[in-house]
Structure 1
Amino acid sequence: MKPAASEEFTLAPGLIQLNHASYGLASRTVADAAMKHRRRIESDPTRHLGAELLEDLRARTALVCTAFGLTPEHTTLCSNATSGAAAIIASVPLTPADTVVVLDTEYSSINRAWQVASGRAGARYIEIAVPLPFQGTASLLSRLENEVPGPVSYLQTSLISSSAALRLPVAEIAEWTRGRGGHLILDAAHGPGHVRIAPDTWGVAAVFGTLHKWLPAERTVGFLWLTEQLVDRIRPAEVSLTWDSADLVERFSWPGTFDPVPRLCVGAAVAQWVGWEHKGLLTECEKLADHATSTLEALAARPTAGREYLPPRLRSFILDGVTVAEVKSALSKADIRAWVGPGPSGECLLRIATHIYNDRGDVAALAALLEEVLHP
């Protein structure tokens, strides 16, 4: 029998959802709150999408900051992680004298955005290979030291990488970057609601991410955190009516006509997430992820890193001897949802996420399927 908490979601009967990390999933509670916000907005759009909206969004920003330990004057909500990244990449000054370093485990569109920006400015773009399984902090820092000549302007890394699900050593990478005179830009798409966020402690220059992946929030809602030095510099990638605002929240509050409801619902999502945490449900998800890891390892699926670098509820595995297409097809036919795709070197990666609607039966079904695929 599925966990009682699974009733909070509208997943199709019989579907095994182990791909929570790709898109997240709004709960019934948050969906109900969203409906109320939409009805209120449609009752008087001129009022509710006008000046009143800014104060509503400012209140939600403050709530997110309180929940995750961020400074309100350095934080704003935005459309999603991609829009936050685009704002940073479009706003930081790049010249032919600059060097941008990006790890190849980053989300591909982020790498491409830095590559395009560097190309336009004539800046040097260096992509660092991170072999899987991840060999650890010392190996990564040695690779950076050996493959990056001279000063660095910006280094892009993730708190938790997307495809390979690596919990990267952010503080150590930031320290190395500062030692080369540069700034670390952090992708925290898989942070809020999953792992602790501490940009001040880590010494990073900017953080972008999402709130709809690990919170039961409506899609899409992102966030942006900036150091004091960047607060006045970073502007939305789209030039809208509030682009010139000196106020960070206002600057990102109106990217043209948009649906503000996902941002307005973050309070309901945070409250429900806090409730799950207090009940120990998220701890149970972590235990289930550990169980899944040991179960799949027994089938010769190789974790992408050692235990120290594994996120609590997101795990990725290297599957040898099979293709991405073969695994995708088998999962689809069995109504099991998990992310499958190529790793940085073309290896077949399988990524799973454990959430409060999952149980050991889901892991057993996945394991049985992989047994057929890996050992026909």
Structure 2
Amino acid sequence: MERQPVEFLGRRFDGLMAEARTSLASFLGAQTDEIVYFPNPTTAINMVARNLSLGPGDEILASDHEYGAMDRTWRFICKKTGAQYINQPVPLPIHGDDEFIAQFWAGVNERTRVIFLSHITSSTAIIFPITEIIRRAREAGILTIIDGAHAPGQIPVNLAEIGADIYTGACHKWLCAPKGSAFLYARKEVQEWLEPLVVSWGYESEKPGPSRFLDYHEWQGTRDISAFLSVPTAIRFQQEHQWELGQARCRKLARITRQRINEVLCSPPVCPEDMFGQMFTVRLPEGTNPEELKERLYNDYRIEVPITRLNEDIFMRVSIQAYNSEEDIEKLVNAIRVLFPR
């Protein structure tokens, strides 16, 4: 690209991006013209949120487990529009999908215009049963927007089967692509009103592509698209190295590790085993100083784990990827024993 930027961006851009879209769409069970690349899910959700026609009395319903940047985005939009952002309480522990669905759906009313929900939560690492929520929402005429930042590469994602109106995910997390690679999926029925944050040559394009949706969102001025173009290689790498076997090993290790840490802390599990993948959380004892714990784990043991909050509770989130070993787990469990003596 730097050797000959005019050739790269002027002549090869469309074909390269089409190849990258096709690979990702196939991996996600979507059509090629339903996917556009974004640098991260936060940017994608900001674009969607700013396109919604909201006003006083309208409500966006989310859980109280959502990612902090997304909560801030929706509060910002509501301040501008007069709508309300509702974080429906979903207390822990959760005992199964049916319990979550009942607790969350209790927040739906005649004012609900949008449901915004994580596929896998960042703060608590729980896989939400989004497909049933989406089905109910469609019957009720409610738009569904799913934050799937942690899903691609950690659990199977088939967007056609999930059925969300809008879904965003990161490729730079569990899919192992470079930073700056994420995507937005939009059903064709909602693409018409999704205008880009940055208007450029794709607007009233002199060389229209497969759809206005792609024209509007794909060309956002001169930028480095290398991260997007790397996604097919990341997908191919996982396919060629039987990544599903590594995922199964990681899930097994995650379940064993969660049980061991919960036993050390005398802490009950926050959800059943079928509601988390390669990432899990454990509730930490009351009075834990999260900043101090995070620094001690890193400085004394070189262990990097997020310490998160949900309401008044503090959690430690543990992620297990293919490169993690049983020795890594032993180190973590032993550190918890030392830092939380009985």
Please give the TM-score of this superposition, normalised by the length of structure 2. 0.91
- CA–CA distance in 1 between the matches of 2:75 and 2:327? 43
1:315-360 CA distance string (max 9 Å, x none):
1111113221231022111111111122x21321111111111111
**Which segment is superposed worse, 220-229 or 252-261?**
252-261
Q: Is 1:305–2:266 an aligned residue pair? A: no
Corresponding residue of 2:208: none
| Contact 1:152–1:181 (Cα < 8 Å) also in 2 | no
State the match for 2:308 in structure 1: 341
Q: Distance in 2 between matches of 1:159 and 1:329?
A: 29
2:4 to 44, 60, 65: 44
Distance 2:332 2:179 in 1: 27
Give, in whole Å, the separation in 1 of the partners of 2:271 and 2:100: 13
Gaps of 5+ in 2: 206-210
The alpha-carbon distance between structure 1 residues 202 and 265, as it changes in their structure 2 partners (threshold 3 A), is closer
Q: What is the 5 A alignment of 1:37-186? A: 41-186=1-146
How far off its partner does 1:254 sit?
Answer: 2.6
Amino acid at match of 1:263: F
Choose which of 329, 332, 342 in structure 1 pairs with 2:298: 332
Which string of whole-angstrom CA distances, capped at 9 and with x for unpartnered residues, describes residues 31-85 of structure 1?
xxxxxxxxxx111012112242122111100011112211112111121111111
1:187-217 deviations in Å (ceiling 9; x for gaps): 1111111112233323311101111101121
Partners of 1:95 and 1:123 within 8 A in 2: yes
Q: Give the aligned length.
A: 334
Which residue identity is paired with 2:256? H
Give the Cα–Cα distance (whole angstroms) in 1 for the partners of residues 333 and 190 of structure 2: 47
2: CA distance between counterparts of 1:244 and 1:314? 44
Task: State how far apart, in whole Å, the 1-side matches of 2:332 and 2:73 are.
Answer: 35
Q: Is the Cα contact below 8 Å between 1:141 and 1:176 reproduced in 2?
A: no
Among candidates 275, 278, 285, match of residue 320 of structure 1: 285
Aligned letter for 1:62? T
What letter matches 2:340 in structure 1? L
SS across alignment from 1:49: helix
Asked if structure 1 preserves the Cα contact closer than 8 Å seen for 2:28 and 2:159, the reply is no
Deviating above 6 A after TM superposition, structure 1's stretches of 4 or more consecutive aligned residues are: none
Q: In the alignment, is residue 369 of structure 1 matched against residue 335 of structure 2?
A: yes
Answer yes or no: is 1:189 the counterpart of 2:149.
yes
Map of 1:261 onto structure 2: 226
User: Could you tell me how far apart the structure 2 residues matched to 1:299 and 1:110 are?
Assistant: 33
Instruction: Please give the alpha-carbon distance, in whole angstroms, between the structure 2 residues aligned to 1:371 and 1:47.
Output: 58
**Correspondence 1:273 to 2:273:** no
Match of 1:212 in 2: 172
SS at match of 2:242: helix
Task: Give 1:272 deviation, angstroms.
Answer: 0.7
Distance 1:204 1:76, change over 3 A: same
String of CA shifts for 1:73-98, please: whole Å, max 9, x gaps. 21111211111111111112212242
Q: RCO greater where, 1 or 2, for CA within 8 Å and sep 6 or more?
A: 1
1:247-258 equivalences in 2 (<5 Å): 247-258=212-223
Q: What letter corresponds to residue 340 of structure 1 in structure 2?
A: I
Percent identity over paired residues: 23
Q: Give the SS at the match of 1:77.
A: strand
1:243–1:285 distance in 2 versus 1, CA, 3 Å: farther
* Contact preservation (8 Å) 2:290, 2:307: yes
Name the SS for the 1:119 alignment partner.
helix
Q: Distance in 2 between matches of 1:218 and 1:363?
A: 26
Question: Does residue 359 of the first structure (1) align with residue 325 of the second (2)?
Answer: yes
Match of 1:96, SS state, is coil
State the secondary structure of the residue aligned to 2:153: coil
Whether the 8 Å CA contact 1:220–1:262 is kept in 2: the answer is yes
AA paired with 1:262? Answer: A
Distance 1:329 1:278 in 2: 32
- Give me the TM-score of the superposition, normalised by structure 1: 0.83
Cα separation, partners in 2 of 1:280 and 1:203, compared to 1, 3 Å: closer
Whether the 8 Å CA contact 2:57–2:111 is kept in 1: the answer is no
Which segment is superposed worse, 320-329 or 251-260?
A: 251-260
Q: Aligned-pair distance for 1:279?
A: 7.4
